[in-house]
Amino acid sequence: MPTHKIGYFVGSLSSVSINRKLSKALIRLAPAGLEFTEIPIRDLPLYSPDFDAAYPPEGQALKTAVEGSDGILFISPEYNRSIPGALKNAIDWGSRPWGTNSFARKPTGIIGTSPGGIGTAVMQSSFRSVLSFLDAPQLNAPEAYIRFDPAIYGDDGEVSDPGTETFLRHFMEEFGAFVERVLAANAPGHIGDEHPDERKLDR
């Protein structure tokens, strides 16, 4: 696999985030051709259309990071059966100003963990609607709803359970292959690559 730049979002601001632990495991288990850079969300102001006329540096940096990535991976908790506010705010920043949606045609993957049995499944379901609206192709399978077991995950991405390690490694291999497929489809010469409105969203 050639090298691909993957920007990743951790949807938690917690200093003891289990999703950050999961992100370290995923990076450790990813195929050699993927290079990871976190896209930070902590210091973003709350998005308002009032910013559109002069995007602040934090918002512009996020857009630049997304646009410079070959693929985007979201690793997020579920808050009240939905997307944590800090992560949704970051996505709103990347989607605007209108006509400059940074996520358009960007290959994406979603994964998350919680101590509960459904492992962020409801959050991921609503997240998929957001990515569809953003015209961001998403890895459909395997789905990854991870019930967190603190005995399995080390602080530096170690995974002590062989079954979990195999599953996470497979998820990352499939994500890497998906990124390659979407990049190939996005390459010049394919149907639709000349479409002038490809990055616009409904108002």
Residues that bind ligand FNR (CB under 6 A): 12, 14, 17-19, 77-81, 114-116
**How far apart, in whole angstroms, are the C-alpha atoms of residue 38 and residue 66?**
10
Q: Name the minimum Å distance from CB 10 to ligand FNR.
A: 7
Judged by beta carbon, residue 87 or residue 179, the one nearer ligand FNR is 87
Q: Name the minimum Å distance from CB 114 to ligand FNR.
A: 3
Q: Name the minimum Å distance from CB 171 to ligand FNR.
A: 17
Judged by beta carbon, residue 18 or residue 168, the one nearer ligand FNR is 18
Q: Name the minimum Å distance from CB 122 to ligand FNR.
A: 7
Complete DSSP assignment for 111-161: EEEESSTTTTHHHHHHHHHHHHHTT--B--SS--EEEP-TTTB-TTS-B--
Q: Which residue has the tokens 């963990």?
A: 113
Judged by beta carbon, residue 14 or residue 140, the one nearer ligand FNR is 14
- Residue pair 178/138 in contact (Cβ under 8 Å)? The answer is no
Rg, C-alpha atoms of the chain: 17
Nearest alpha-carbon partner for 173 in 24, 31, 6, 34: 31
Judged by beta carbon, residue 110 or residue 182, the one nearer ligand FNR is 110
Judged by beta carbon, residue 111 or residue 179, the one nearer ligand FNR is 111
Q: Which residue has the tokens 């993927």?
A: 34
Q: Name the minimum Å distance from CB 145 to ligand FNR.
A: 10
